[in-house]
Amino acid sequence: MMEGRSAMESPVTRLPTRRRTKSYGRSCFEASSRFAYTSGQLTILRIPTTREAPRARNIAERVDPEQVTLLIKNEWKLSYVTPLYRFRHTHLKKYSKHLSAFIAAEKQQGTAVEVGLETGYRVTFSTVLGIAETDEDAETVFIQIQSKPMFAATGDALKVVWSGWLTCVNGSPEYLHSLLPDFVSLPLFCSSGPENITVVVKSWFEKMFDCRFGSLGLDSTSLQWLCALWTGCHPDNNIRYLRLLWTLPTQPPLDVSYTVNPQDAWELWNSVRQEDSVDGTVGIDEVKHFMAGLESHFFRHFKIYLSSGTLRKVSTALGSAQQDGKVKILCSDYLATVLTLLTECAILKMPI
Amino acid sequence: MSKTMSKSHNVSEAESCIHGAANRSSRRSERRRADVEDPFGRALEYFSQVKAGTPVKGNDALENNLVLVERVALGRGLPPGAVATLLDFALSLRLGKKLLCSRVLKFLIPASAVPQDSVVRGVSWFCMGKMPVSAQILFLRWILTMFDLIDSKDQHYIYINDFCSLLLIITQWIFSLSPYVCHLLYLLTTKEHGKQPPLTQLLALYKVLCPEMIAISMPSKTRGGFKNHNLPWKTALAAVLKKNKTAEAPSPPLSLDIKEKASTRKRKLHHLEVPQLSCGPEIESSRGKAVHLQQLRSFAQLLQNLDNIELPAQMGSLLSSSLALHYLDCVHDESALLRLNFWLGSVLHEEFLFCSRDGNPENSTEPSQFLDMLISTQDFLQECFSSSEFFLFKFLAMWDGSLHQPQILSLLSDIPPLPVSRMKMFLFEPLQQLYFTSSVFFKCGVIECLRSMLWKWLTWHFVQTSHKELDVSLSSSRTMNLHMSEFLELVTELVQYVGRLASAGLQLENYHILLHHQTLNFYELVCDVYLKFNLPLFLLPPSGVIFPSLLATDPVTVDRLGYVIFRYRQNLMSAKEHKQQKKEPSFHISRDVFREFNLLMVAVVSCLWISKDCQVDVGTDVHKALVPLRTMLSYCKNYNLIHHPAFLNYAIEFHQKCWPEQTNVDLSSIQGKKYWYWYLEFLFSQGFDGLKDFIQNNMDHQSTPVGGH
């Protein structure tokens, strides 16, 4: 919300002379144009008011189907990551070894991972080619951690205990351009597995690539976008249900679960679609109208203003998303649409 | 017997003195005199020179010296030299075996440090194996207690190696029969023995140092493996150190003092931890001669290795120590600075913007400590991190004006000059809203913050312009890459902004005296901008500031106003002279400035001055905005220095001094020519220097009823 305000009010044109990030020594001799982008998101980032309407695409044509199943299986906890310093996609093998050694060391300290039967972890870094949409997007990196039981026979399959991935889909080109070449921006981090391993992995990344993680929640505008975008997919891909969860600020708080018949939802959505938006874009006004329609319907029956509460969760058969940043993608056809939205949320969290 | 002993000692000394050359003897006698004055030095000399085999029993000299040294040691601690002497004396077992050694060791409290050589010598005595076991144990415990004080100045690493090898010698000595002893231990040790805390602790260390050797798993909590023995020296040492610490002037040592973690309590979110200094990942092959910052101990070492220092893996760690900050000042690597800004920005955002407060006020010490750290860092670098600037702009929009108020205001004052439009939008607007809805103390804080900000800008500007004169090749426009005209516009905007805030604030707060002073503080900076910072900018305070100050009931406020007007005058006069001399076309001061100032001056002078008839010719082309001034003047008559509410007190006192017998106080009698000047002198003697400057400088130019001064 903050970012939105400052972004929209900020002047589009900036002064020709830009401020550097740091200029301690007044007698240093470099050229004066140092950080071309330091005005950061105060000027660059804007919350989009229109989005491309989702189009079903068979992602299996571009991405290895096995890898796709890895991405859509789990419920992911979202985080944002500041750009990684000197991350190389060509060093993934070394990173695998390094991270497993790091986890082992942390385990020995007895702080991070509970002492169980496992004696070791195997870490695999891999690139998921084809998720990236533009040339600026860095390729997605998938991390899987498997445990090696102590008394395993050689043929035993390893147990996957944790997985996570870093991605960037349709990241703001202005932002990505403004980074120095030493940095790789993979702003969205999704993790699934025990929290203590997540902590270790994050701290490894922070130590290796001098980045920082922060949790990424989804505000109600983002959830409303997802709600509208998924509903719009109904003709191509049956959403089966549209379930919304609100929490109303009563004492004690009142949770309202609101399930809408998919066909009704779609008809409502179709009715608020403006005629001039045939070029495949969706506007924020349409989304707001759609939500207002759903809310007024609810009011007519229960005399409760849902708009006074907060939207906490949206789910359909295509996927679900929660306010606290938990996301499940159940249909790979709309992966790009969802990830674009999430990447955008992550970039909006960047400190500079 | 003992008396003869000590006598004979002295006699022999005296004899040697006679035999020696004349100058030597004189030097000796000087030293002797010093010795008489310094019994402690004499006692030490005794211990260093006493010969082996000297009897102990009934030796008064020994006993006296021991008591003396003991008293000094427990009182203010022993200087390093004394520690060395006494340690040598005790461990050499020159005078008997057991008692003396442990007695000396027990009071061996160093004042500041233990010389490394003395420990090395001590260990070699130890290894000779003549000490009784109890003394050996006592000595080892003494080393353990004093470990942190062992002096290691410049040869830190050498010392570590030396000392380790010495400890190895000890071990070798203990285990000179090691194969057999170990074998015996091997046979005797059972599982229960193996769990003894000291052994586990040692094993754990070995496991860290060479993990390939030890494959067993350690219990995670081995803390407390080494008991913190209640060693006899601890309390005495602490007392001595504390005493000495308060005695000497506080001079923070320049060292790699990693700041202590704010609290050991585990926070749920570790936003505020500054990472530890550590070298980069081994994946990237580093240069051969690279030096890691955490190896450096002193500023001299930093200077020697400045070109070879490898940046740490996490740039944020540079904020952890003062030495690293010195290095940060030399870093010109864009990526490194960007990393630092990402880290800092993310910490600030997570803690203050994204993190939902759980409404727990105890949580606020850690964040404010972090902010204090940031403030002192920025003060040191004399620059604002851009990440903290962005953070502040966002934070200001949601700030309630009370959370971490002193820190936030202090950080705000570090904001560098930015284009006016941005400044208005991100700083002035939100700050104004907070200003008008907060207490008078917050208002004072805001004015002070803006004053400090202006002062920093002006200093930057001044350094920039003087740099340009020194060396044109310097592309120096980095702290401020605004053009001169933009900078002037910004300063003007800021001063006018503060003028608006102050006039409205004074009215809102019923002319609160603190706000008065804060405002005048600000104008004391503004009035001297030309002379002090070489900036041709003359911005007068608005009427909403001048007249409340002029009519204030507090004499100091009026006095400060007098000073401010006096300085404005000096600046304007000097600018006028400069203009006439150089005839630079670019140097232009608007006529309006002079006119406005003259009008202000006339108003103030005719108000404070006796002004029988306040006929002021304000001209016909007075600026329209200044018209209210003229109407003000008619009321000012009753506010001359005698009747002014702020000075009434002084006038009455003066009257009583002049006419002590008169009970009927008629203040107008002071207005007589002679008394008026005496009264002024009286006021000046009360410390109203601002008023003095103001009046004395304007006397020559204003027609006064009292003629020349």
Using left for φ > 0, alpha for ψ between -120 and 50, and beta otherwise, residue B93 falls in left
Element (H, E) at B572: helix B555-582
With CB atoms and an 8 Å threshold, state whether B313 touches A210: yes
b (16+ CB within 10 A) / e for B165-185? ebeeeeeeeeeeeeeeeeeee
Amino acid of residue B231: L
Q: Report the alpha-carbon distance of residue B550 to residue B233 in Å, rounded.
A: 66
Q: For residue range A235-275, what is the model confidence (pLDDT) as tens digits?
A: 888 999 999 999 999 999 999 999 999 999 999 999 998 77
Which has the higher per-residue pLDDT, B144 or A39?
A: B144
Q: What residues does A127 pair with on adjacent strands?
A: A141
Is residue B252's pLDDT more than 60?
no
**Residue for token digits 């001055």?**
B609
Secondary structure string (H, E, C) spanning chain A: CHHHHHHHHCCCCCCCCCCCCCCCCCCCCCCCCCCCCCCHHHHCCCCCCEEECCCCCCHHHCCCHHHHHHHHHCEEEEEEECCEECCCHHHHHHHHHHHHHHHHHHHHHCCCCCCCCCCEEEEEEEEECCCCCCCCCCCEEEEEEEEECCCCCCCCCCEEEEEEEEECCCCCHHHHHHCCCCEECCCEEEEECCHHHHHHHHHHHHHHHCCCEEECCCCHHHHHHHHHHHHHCCCCCCCCCEEEEEEECCCCCEEEEEEECHHHHHHHHHHHCCHHHCCCEEEHHHHHHHHHHHHHHHHHHHCCCHHHCEEEEEEECCEEEECCCEEEECCHHHHHHHHHHHHHHHHHCCCC
Interval A134-156 mean pLDDT? 82
Which has the higher per-residue pLDDT, B634 or B497?
A: B497
Q: In degrees to the nearest 10, what's the CA dihedral of B258, B259, B261, B262?
A: 180
Give the pLDDT of residue B292: 83
Is residue A11's pLDDT more than 80?
no
Q: Report the alpha-carbon distance of residue A347 to residue A340 in Å, rounded.
A: 11
Q: Which residues contact B631 (CB under 8 A, 6 or more apart)?
A: none
Is residue B158's pLDDT more than 90?
no
Quick one: B418 exposed, middle or buried, by C-beta within 10 A (0-12, 13-18, 19+)?
A: buried
Element (H, E) at B310: strand B309-310
Residue A111: list chain B partners with CB under 8 A.
Answer: 220
With CB atoms and an 8 Å threshold, state whether B314 touches A210: yes
Residue B346: list chain A partners with CB under 8 A.
Answer: 82, 212, 214, 351
**Residue for token digits 């190895």?**
B168
**Residue for token digits 């491309």?**
A52
Give the pLDDT of residue B700: 52
Which has the closest alpha carbon to A342: A228, A245, A256, A226? A226
Q: Report the alpha-carbon distance of residue B527 to residue B687 in Å, rounded.
A: 21
Which has the closest alpha carbon to A335: A124, A77, A60? A60
Interval A14-42 mean pLDDT? 32
As a whole-number percent, the residues of chain B with pLDDT over 90 amount to: 23
Q: For residue range B398-414, what is the model confidence (pLDDT) as tens digits?
A: 899 998 999 999 999 99
With CB atoms and an 8 Å threshold, state whether B328 touches A24: yes
What tokens were used for B169?
A: 């010698």
Q: Which of B80-84, B140-144, B394-398, B679-683 has the lowest mean pLDDT?
A: B140-144
Is residue B525's pLDDT more than 70?
yes
As a whole-number percent, the residues of chain A with pLDDT over 90 amount to: 57
**Residue for token digits 């699934």?**
A192
Q: What is the mean pLDDT of chain B?
A: 75
Q: Which of A309-318, B182-191, B218-227 has the lowest mean pLDDT?
A: B218-227
| Cα angle B300-B301-B304, degrees, rounded to a multiple of 5 | 90
With CB atoms and an 8 Å threshold, state whether B354 touches A214: yes
Residue B428: list chain A partners with CB under 8 A.
Answer: none
Interface subset of A 40-69, CB within 8 angstroms of B: 40-42
Give the pLDDT of residue B22: 45
Q: For residue range A201-234, what is the model confidence (pLDDT) as tens digits?
A: 999 999 999 999 999 999 999 999 999 999 999 9
Residue B466: list chain A partners with CB under 8 A.
Answer: none
Q: Report the alpha-carbon distance of residue B699 to residue A236 in Å, rounded.
A: 93
Q: Which of A207-211, B473-477, B565-569 has the lowest mean pLDDT?
A: B473-477
Distance (Å) from the alpha carbon of B336 to chain A's nearest alpha carbon:
9
Q: Which of A43-52, B251-260, B603-612 has the lowest mean pLDDT?
A: B251-260
Give Cα separations from B185 to B139, B194, B299 (angstroms). Answer: 25, 11, 49
- Residue pair B501/B523 in contact (Cβ under 8 Å)? The answer is no
Give the pLDDT of residue B62: 83
Which has the higher per-residue pLDDT, B460 or B626?
A: B460
Element (H, E) at B291: strand B291-292
Q: Report the alpha-carbon distance of residue B515 to residue A150 in Å, rounded.
A: 73
Give the pLDDT of residue A41: 40
Q: pLDDT class for B144, splitting at 50, 70, 90?
A: confident
Give the pLDDT of residue A167: 96
Q: pLDDT class for B509, splitting at 50, 70, 90?
A: very high
Q: Which residues contact B452 (CB under 8 A, 6 or more apart)?
A: B410, B413
Q: For residue range B108-127, what is the model confidence (pLDDT) as tens digits?
A: 888 878 887 787 788 777 77
Quick one: A57 exposed, middle or buried, by C-beta within 10 A (0-12, 13-18, 19+)?
A: middle
Three-state DSSP state, B456:
helix
Q: Which of A75-84, B88-97, B200-209 has the lowest mean pLDDT?
A: B200-209
Interval B428-444 mean pLDDT? 95
Q: Report the alpha-carbon distance of residue B92 to residue B130 in Å, rounded.
A: 9
Q: Which of A272-276, A296-300, B353-357 has the lowest mean pLDDT?
A: B353-357
Give the pLDDT of residue A33: 26
Q: What is the mean pLDDT of chain A?
A: 82
- Residue pair A119/A95 in contact (Cβ under 8 Å)? The answer is no
What letter would DSSP give residue B268? S
Distance (Å) from the alpha carbon of A109 to chain B's nearest alpha carbon:
6
- With an 8 Å Cβ cutoff, is A251 touching chain B? no
Give the pLDDT of residue B140: 79
Which has the higher per-residue pLDDT, A132 or B122?
A: A132
Residue A204: list chain B partners with CB under 8 A.
Answer: none
Q: Which residue of A has its CA nearest to B281?
A: A208
Three-state DSSP state, B518:
helix
Is residue B246's pLDDT more than 80?
no
Complex prediction ipTM: 0.86
Q: pLDDT class for B392, splitting at 50, 70, 90?
A: very high
Q: Report the alpha-carbon distance of residue B131 to residue B659 in Å, rounded.
A: 92
Amino acid of residue A330: L
Q: Report the alpha-carbon distance of residue B476 to residue B25 in Å, rounded.
A: 66
With CB atoms and an 8 Å threshold, state whether A208 touches B391: no
Distance (Å) from the alpha carbon of A182 to chain B's nearest alpha carbon:
7
* Phi, psi for B159 (deg, rounded to 5): -60, -45
Is residue B318's pLDDT more than 80?
yes
Q: Which of B78-82, B216-220, B349-353, B536-540 has the lowest mean pLDDT?
A: B216-220
Which has the higher per-residue pLDDT, B248 or B293?
A: B293
Residue A20: list chain B partners with CB under 8 A.
Answer: 386, 478, 481
Give the pLDDT of residue A44: 46
b (16+ CB within 10 A) / e for B141-155? ebbebbeebbbbeee
With CB atoms and an 8 Å threshold, state whether A208 touches B313: yes
Q: What is the largest CA-CA distance in chain B?
A: 115
As a whole-number percent, the residues of chain A with pLDDT over 70 amount to: 80
Q: Report the alpha-carbon distance of residue A219 to residue A324 in Å, rounded.
A: 9
Q: For residue range A172-185, what is the model confidence (pLDDT) as tens digits?
A: 888 888 888 999 99
- Residue pair A140/A170 in contact (Cβ under 8 Å)? The answer is no
Q: How many CB pairs under 8 A join A and B?
A: 161
Q: Which residue of A has its CA nearest to B383?
A: A24
Distance (Å) from the alpha carbon of A261 to chain B's nearest alpha carbon:
36
With CB atoms and an 8 Å threshold, state whether A210 touches B315: yes
Give the pLDDT of residue B277: 78
Interval A15-31 mean pLDDT? 31
C-alpha distance across the termini of chain B, in Å? 90
Amino acid of residue B7: K
Q: Report the alpha-carbon distance of residue B620 to residue B244 in Å, rounded.
A: 74
Is residue B480's pLDDT more than 70?
no
Give the pLDDT of residue B36: 55
